[in-house]
């Protein structure tokens, strides 16, 4: 077993996972976990999601220090509004790379390796704009286009367009008049032909 998702359960004990030596990806988000000791035996673990549990101190994470392949650790998920008590301390992110030197990704952000400079730049930019390290306060949803964007523009009639409309209207009236005359002529012809009895006397 290499991939295991146990998210969204009432799990508080991880003892049965200790024997999973090949486990590489483990999702334990949204549970009731506070003790991580059994995970210290999962020597192949590379990615661990603990967001939404009861990890209250960095001391509880020391049992993971022997996991040499562990590169990704998530204790907080801002999008899913999941966290752990330890995340209330602003310094926890800075302390994790020292506690777990192999980490490259913390809470979905690169802390070392390719891409880490970009995440640091974004954090610095947020701080300079006054947002701080936490998520920005929620704002009311705004339309992504200006009001009236989808409305058809009002017609702008130039003198040329006006003349075209006039000529079209005139032609339409003439067509209707021709149609009326043609109907009258056909009706007269039908009445005239209906009075003849000799089919051979029809002249066209």
Q: pLDDT tens digits, residue range 66-116?
A: 999 999 899 988 787 888 999 888 788 888 888 888 888 888 877 754 444
Burial class (CB in 10 A: 0-12, 13-18, 19+), 5: exposed
CA-based angle 88:66:54, to the nearest 5?
30
* Residue 126 Rama label (left phi>0; alpha psi -120 to 50; beta): alpha
pTM tops 0.85: no
Q: What is the CA radius of gyration of the chain?
A: 39
How confident is the model over 137-180, as pLDDT tens digits? 555 656 665 666 667 666 665 666 677 777 778 888 888 888 88
Q: What confidence score (pLDDT) does residue 146 get?
A: 66
Tell me which of 26 and 135 has the higher pLDDT: 26
DSSP for 58-126?
GGGGGGGTT-TT--EEES-BTTTTB--GGGGSTTHHHHHHHHSTT--EETTEE-SSTTHHHHHHHHHHH
Q: Do the Cβ atoms of 56 and 85 come closer than 8 Å?
A: yes
| SS3 letters across 137-198 | CCCCCCCCCCCCCCCCCCCCCCHHHHHHHHHHHHHHHHHHHHHHHHHHHHHHHHHHHHCCCC
Burial class (CB in 10 A: 0-12, 13-18, 19+), 64: buried
């Amino acid at each position: 077993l290499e991939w295991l998702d146990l998210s969204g359960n009432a799990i508080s004990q991880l003892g049965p996972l200790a024997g999973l030596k090949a486990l590489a990806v483990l999702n334990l988000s949204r549970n009731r976990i506070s003790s991580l000791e059994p995970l210290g035996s999962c020597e192949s673990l590379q990615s661990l999601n603990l967001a939404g549990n009861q990890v209250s101190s960095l001391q509880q994470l020391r049992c993971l220090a022997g996991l040499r392949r562990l590169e990704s650790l998530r204790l907080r998920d801002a999008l899913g509004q999941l966290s752990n008590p330890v995340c209330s301390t602003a310094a926890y992110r800075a302390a994790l790379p020292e506690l777990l030197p192999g980490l490259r990704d913390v809470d979905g952000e690169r802390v070392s390796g390719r891409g880490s400079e970009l995440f640091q730049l974004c954090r610095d930019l947020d701080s300079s704009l006054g947002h701080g390290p936490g998520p920005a306060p929620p704002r009311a949803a705004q339309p992504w286009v200006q009001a009236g964007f989808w409305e058809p523009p009002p017609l702008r009639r130039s003198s040329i367009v006006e003349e075209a409309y006039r000529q079209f209207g005139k032609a339409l009236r003439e067509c209707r008049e021709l149609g009326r005359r043609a109907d009258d002529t056909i009706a007269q012809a039908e009445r005239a032909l209906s009075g003849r009895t000799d089919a051979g006397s029809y002249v066209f």
